[in-house]
Structure 1
Amino acid sequence: MYKRIINLFLILLVFIYLIFEELIWEKFAKPIINLISSLHIFTKYIPKIQALNSYFILIFFLTIFVIVELIGVYAGVLFVSGHIFSAIFIYILKIPVAAFIFWFFNIVKPKLLEFKWFEFIYNHLLSIIYRINHYSIYIMIKDKSFNITKSLKENFFSAKRGLKYKIVHIYKLLKLKIKK
């Protein structure tokens, strides 16, 4: 019984992680970071940013990072309290700022890693992410979600039938895929 509860909890955590990694990071934040990186107006500021004092960089990074995380927590509180559309709206507003802070981090990472405590936390976090990505539950859920997404794309967007047929077919397909 205890092991089953832990497995259900791990599945829930992995599912949430997958949603954030695949949906929010890959579909929204990463393209924004790529856009920021490709804009030539920002490239001229990179040497100036890298020349800033390490403590200033640390304070600026941590301030923006904490604000972004607090916005995410606030969106979560709104979601749990039943204000789903407000939560989604606030979370969407957070994505460009989070993308900016990731871009900023990539530029100033060597200076931030000069702080031993920051380096320790950063390496520990990378270790946790690596372990999560190699858990059998993570791999199983990722494979299932990939197969479901692939099946939905193939069946929903390629069929030339009516909407009612497509919805019923997707329901049956999801039901079948989840039972596997």
Structure 2
Amino acid sequence: MNHLVPDLSKDILPSKEAAGISLGMDFDEFRNSALFRDVGMEEFESAQEKNIWLVLHRYELLPWQEWINEIYCSWESSVTLTFDGNSKKLIRIFLGEGYNGKLLGLLGIGDRLDLVKDDFNFYFSCDAHYLEYKQDSDMFGEIIPAEISTNYRTAYSEEYSDQIIEGIMIYTNSH
């Protein structure tokens, strides 16, 4: 039987797929095709297992009275899938250390953010950078739906130009 194994070299396609896994996948489809183990928060965060998905079900009330109902599936801390606990659909894919694919064929984990400063403006919100097409592009003003986290938690600037990409997250347009 073939098991669902992420392709750690596959390019990242915003709003579509990463690691060869498509956003919108149903959690039952994941369970039927993946070798996985249900774990608690402590084991999930330490992520010592190799060649198996660690699955954490999170259903809790936050202090500001908002419920979180999500299912997290992690592969060696390189790929983390987030399923909506109600719809059971894959809504986010986070890629971290160990992932070798590139966002738009240009940026990957460990790269300097400024590799693309000639082609994109940087939009910064909530500790994450987003790429915005520049004025000379046919897609001027459009923001690429991918969150980029770096070793800084501040906006890119000449003063903070040596930012290294630590993670990239893609998501469905509804989240």
TM-score by length of 2: 0.24
- Structure (1 or 2) with the greater helix fraction: 1
- Structure (1 or 2) with the greater strand fraction: 2
Q: Which of 1 and 2 has higher RCO (CA within 8 Å, sep 6+)?
A: 1
TM-score by length of 1: 0.24
